[in-house]
Chain A
Amino acid sequence: MSLLIKKPGILTTVQDLGRYGYQRFGVNPSGAMDRTAARLVNLLVGNDETGAVLEMHFPADVVEFEADVVCAIGGADLTAEIDGRPIENWHTFAAHSGSTLRFKGRVWGSRAYLAVSGGLDIRPWLASTSTNLAAGIGGFEGRRLQAGDRLAINCTTGIDSKLLHRAVSPSLIPYYRPFPTVRVIAGNEYACLNAENRELLEKQDFVISNNSNRMGFRLSGAPIKCESLAELVSSAVTFGTIQLLPDGQLIVLMADHQTTGGYPRLAHVISRDLPLLAQLGASDKVAFHVVDVKHAEELTAEFEQEMRFLRIAALGVETRSK
């Protein structure tokens, strides 16, 4: 019972919701870039939302099923087809042993997530199945998937008809768009920006540069200056931290960020809006809007309340496993 990678995608890795608890040892969290999508596709197929999924970029893989399973794809729309039949994102579908899944073209978004019922059988490393590409550890042999890789699927009872014809309520799907305004909270060094530079942070459109990846998105825009700032000693950073580089450009730290950094932290993207950012690619645009941390938290609480209802409906449990 497995998935066979017939033809590899450009960057497909096994991810979950990240490896937390070991950052004091420099072990960075990794994990899915669009965690909301990873959670939703898992719940759709009856898995705990912390389960391992495939994160795919375009061009994505050609996958052959060697088991009868229920699957779901979410996140970017890469025109999935199973045996030539189109698959709609956020809807479950049946894959039979011998079926082939292909992705025909990128409609929008940068990262699609595939979950299979029963879940991928990946041995966790430090309590997570995420792939740490820089260290070459975790996930499937610590690397991106290659032709001929076989990913074992946990024992399932075949196609469970209860799981078919399921779809995610549109209210839970992030409001993805190619030019989002992403909400941020002010970072500690935001205070060093004068009015003019604050305006540059909040009023201009930034372009995601080519030099962007799972570690961070480099943005290009009119340069920003931080006034009278002493050099900072390194401290912890997070997924979503927006740092000011010495040349006045910004970098947003993404899922594969290092644990610590020493550049000025102008802002931090709020959790609720990270999926919007995670789906952007080179030459897409983004703008920032500053909100306070209490508001950011309320947005998270509101979303998690909806997720709780979905979890109860999908799995019959109120809280996730970890």
Chain B
Amino acid sequence: MINDEVRIYPIGDTALTVEFGNAISLDLNQKAIAFADYFLDHPFPGFIEAIPAYASATIIYDPVVVRRAMQGNAFSSVTSIAKDAVESLAIDSERPTRLIEIPMLSNDECAPDLPYVAELHDLSEKDVLRIFTEREYRVYMLGFLPGFSYMGDIDDRIATPRRETPRTEVPSGSIGIAGRQTGIYSISSPGGWNLIGRAACETFTPKADAPSLLRPGDRVRFVLAE
């Protein structure tokens, strides 16, 4: 892996971040996910978890266990482990990606902002949905809420900024757009994205051992269910 621009820095005394860049891009995100996934197969003593984000991955560790196992400063030890992991990764070491199809409802109740998005771009509502469902999206990361997926990239023709006033409650399953990002409100929560549909399936199932339908790196296609 090309690692010229990789930066490693602490984000507390129990975590460090490996930053591959500062942009939303497929390349940087693949690196971040491949790096985080590496530790699923190669945990070290004191490793707690690895969290991939858009262009970085963060390792959470127990400094006391690391110090005992590595006989030295934990931040330095985990930094060397991270550097080795970066070196050993090839870009094709990303796990095979999954394609998930999500049935999407877009009636008035489920898509309250569809008229606004259509009007903003001088399109019909049907066109907005056609453009939206035409392409495949990548799950860059999960965050904000348990199971909330940050996906992209949306066609410029329908990219829409966040609402000026966030809603106090967005129903679970709502599919929103914000700029060139799209995401599914896995659980109900306050939120400011424009809602253009609702997933007709659960994307976060608390009772399951793997509660989130989507994982970082998944490909998603929305299929109109009406």
A304 to B65, CA, bound (A): 10
For chain B, residues 188 to 226, give those with C-beta under 8 angstroms from any C-beta of chain A: 189, 206, 211-212, 215-216
B146 contact from A26, A230, A237, Cβ within 8 A: A26
Residues of A with C-beta under 8 A to B14: 238, 271, 300
Q: Does A107 contact B (CB under 8 A)?
A: no
A135 contact from B55, B141, B149, B187, Cβ within 8 A: B187
Q: Does A132 contact B (CB under 8 A)?
A: yes
Stretch at the interface among A71-79, A159-167, A258-266: A258-266
- Please classify how large the interface on chain A is, using the bins under 10, 10 to 19, 20 to 34, 35 or more: 35 or more
Residues of B with C-beta under 8 A to A195: none
Contact of B63 with A24 in the complex, beta carbons under 8 Å: no
Residue of B nearest to A319 (CB): B65
Residue of B nearest to A19 (CB): B146
A265 to B16, CA, bound (A): 13
Q: Does B48 contact A (CB under 8 A)?
A: yes
Residues of A with C-beta under 8 A to B76: 294
With a 10 A CB-CB cut-off, give which of B17, B48, B51, B60 has the most chain A CB atoms.
B51
Q: Does B10 contact A (CB under 8 A)?
A: yes
Contact of A296 with B13 in the complex, beta carbons under 8 Å: yes
A188 contact from B17, B67, B144, B187, Cβ within 8 A: B17
B interface, over-half SS? mixed
Residues of A with C-beta under 8 A to B49: 20-24
A215 to B158, CA, bound (A): 33
Q: Does A281 contact B (CB under 8 A)?
A: no
Residues of B with C-beta under 8 A to A265: 11
Q: Does B74 contact A (CB under 8 A)?
A: yes
Contact of B52 with A137 in the complex, beta carbons under 8 Å: no
A126 to B64, CA, bound (A): 24
A25 to B40, CA, bound (A): 14
Q: Does A293 contact B (CB under 8 A)?
A: yes
Residues of A with C-beta under 8 A to B149: 26
Given contacts A135-B146, A294-B75, A297-B74, contact A26 B55 (CB under 8 A): no
Residues of A with C-beta under 8 A to B215: 24-25
Residue of B nearest to A304 (CB): B64
A259 to B15, CA, bound (A): 13
Q: Does A275 contact B (CB under 8 A)?
A: no
Contact of A268 with B50 in the complex, beta carbons under 8 Å: no
Q: Does B23 contact A (CB under 8 A)?
A: yes
With a 10 A CB-CB cut-off, give which of B11, B36, B56, B149 has the most chain A CB atoms.
B11
Q: Does A222 contact B (CB under 8 A)?
A: no
Contact of A234 with B12 in the complex, beta carbons under 8 Å: no
For chain A, residues 3 to 60, give those with C-beta under 8 angstroms from any C-beta of chain B: 20-28
A230 to B60, CA, bound (A): 26
Residues of B with C-beta under 8 A to A236: 11, 15, 17, 51, 53, 56-58
Q: Report which A residues bind B (CB closer than 8 A).
A: 20-28, 125-126, 132, 134-137, 185, 187-188, 230, 232-241, 258-260, 265, 268-271, 293-294, 296-297, 300-301, 304
Across the A-B interface, the 5 shortest Cβ-Cβ residue pairs: A260-B143, A236-B58, A26-B142, A296-B13, A25-B212
